[in-house]
Structure 1
Amino acid sequence: MEPERYKGYEIWGHVIAQDERFAASGTVTRNNELIQGSGILAFFATEEEARAAGIEWARAWVDCHR
């Protein structure tokens, strides 16, 4: 999995398999340093939905803290 570059940060959407659903989380890094990580954001039916939720969270974090 590759990070997405967003406004000078690398943002990540993570997927954690939980039985038949997928938990989402997000991470914000810069120059290989952890800036902020979320806890579990929500549960989704698909990996794609979970990863998208993590990316969305990370973008919102950057927008609010930049």
Structure 2
Amino acid sequence: MQTEKYRGYTLWGHAILQQEGIPQPAKFAGSGTVTRDTKVVEVSGVLDAFDSDEEAELVGLSWCRAWVDSHG
């Protein structure tokens, strides 16, 4: 999980390991969470599946920034 402060909000990028089938390479579901003052403001749900946890987290953070920009 990655986090960052952005325009008064705390943003969280999540990567959730997907184990649909073995021996397929691991995939990670990406999502984002926007919080303010320790309260959840918005949650993205699953955005897509990615080959790395870092990519999934970065896409989640990007979604969060876009949400703040459109609702701030």
Q: TM-score range by the shorter chain?
A: over 0.9
TM-score by length of 2: 0.87
Unaligned 5+ runs, structure 1? none
Q: CA deviation at 1:2?
A: 5.7
Report how many residues are paired: 66
CA distances 1:18-39 after superposition (whole Å, capped 9, x unpaired): 0210000000000000000011
1:44–1:2 Cα change, 3 Å: closer
Partner of 1:12: 12
TM-score by length of 1: 0.95
Greater Rg over alpha carbons, structure: 2
Unaligned 5+ runs, structure 2? 20-25
Moved over 2 A (4+): none
Distance in 2 (alpha carbons) for counterparts of 1:46 and 1:2: 13
Match of 1:37 among 27, 35, 43: 43
Percent of aligned positions that are identical: 50
Aligned-residue RMSD, C-alpha: 1.0
